[in-house]
Structure 1
Amino acid sequence: MKIFCSVFALFIIFETVYGDCGVVSKAGWDGLTPIHVEYLARPVDLVIIQHTVTSTCTTNARCAEIVRAIQTNHMDNLGYWDIASSFIVGGNGKIYEGAGWLHVGAHTYGYNRRSIGITFIGNYNNDTPTKASLDAVKALLRCGVQNGHLSENYHIVGHRQLIATESPGRKLYNEIRRWPHFLDDVSSIKN
């Protein structure tokens, strides 16, 4: 019985910190509860890649600190219901829960109700994405398909393809252009 209780307690801790697809939950990075939520119709067939234009991070503590600061800015200064992105990626190779798989984000005006926004911490005009962060996003996308959050024929685009921005930065954009689900011609999905 003691072993069962210990295993169960570890499972509860793991599920609190690492949710669906191994994502660090809001409880795991000490995030605030959203003020309001709108549910996202799934499966989603569009993934938008962005960057934060902040400093990068490679430690759990620093990445969580940056994610908390982003959420505070989004909610307190910009008036969003929650952190804007669906997921935030640290240079440490961890994915942090934002709006998540189930809720509409506020990452790309005109596309939020039909996409997942994945935001890399850093400025990828200058920084090079870490292998750990790229591998983590690829694993997240595979898991998203397996769990029915993403359609099997989803498309990946850079933020810059949909609105006037440099995001996700030249170096990250160059990387995602080589990914199998990358959509070069966005005319069929553009608002």
Structure 2
Amino acid sequence: MLIVIGILLFFYLLIQYSNIRTKQIIQKEKETFWNKEYQANSTRKSDISGLDYITIPMDTLPFTDTDEGELNEIQSNIKSLFQKPILNLAGLSNTDLKLKYGVANIKFLIKCDDNYTFLVKNLSRWGSYLYDHNRWNEAVTVLEFGVQCKTDISKNYILLAELYKELNTQDKIDDLIQTAQTLDTLSRENILISLKEIKMSFYLK
């Protein structure tokens, strides 16, 4: 009986210690966050004119006059971004942005990042549409621009790799893999696995 009580007491104390330790860790994380946030909100505005803004190549993307609703919508969405500032700020939180570029720039930078997200989503849609309508070379042009923008949309990479395979330019899949390895995103590993599977399937066919 004493042994059972001793065991129960041991586990009780262990659980209590674990709870205390967890609370201490959470409290420390909160303090770290708010200290960082305070510092970020005190950071002075810096020059952001030299950042790597994305320019949409209107003369090389395959825009066409069309009455087809979906295609017209996609093209209009991308054209609407032509003169807007676009930045890929993946991997940076709002606090990180304020620390790096100053609190006065945060609204502008968030808008730049929103424009980027809107761009890469529509590039992926456009590439998929062109692929589905057997306009493969045009699809490649669109999807390659998405990769150039460092999109983290898996479909953009996978569909482009499939096109390289179909067009017998599978050597370009290696370039895709190299680009995917530089991504700072949760989808990075899944993209790499898919690309390597597509590359391997070419040699097995």
* TM-score normalised by structure 2 residue count: 0.28
| Bigger CA radius of gyration | 2
The structure that is strand-richer by fraction is: 1
TM-score (norm 1): 0.30
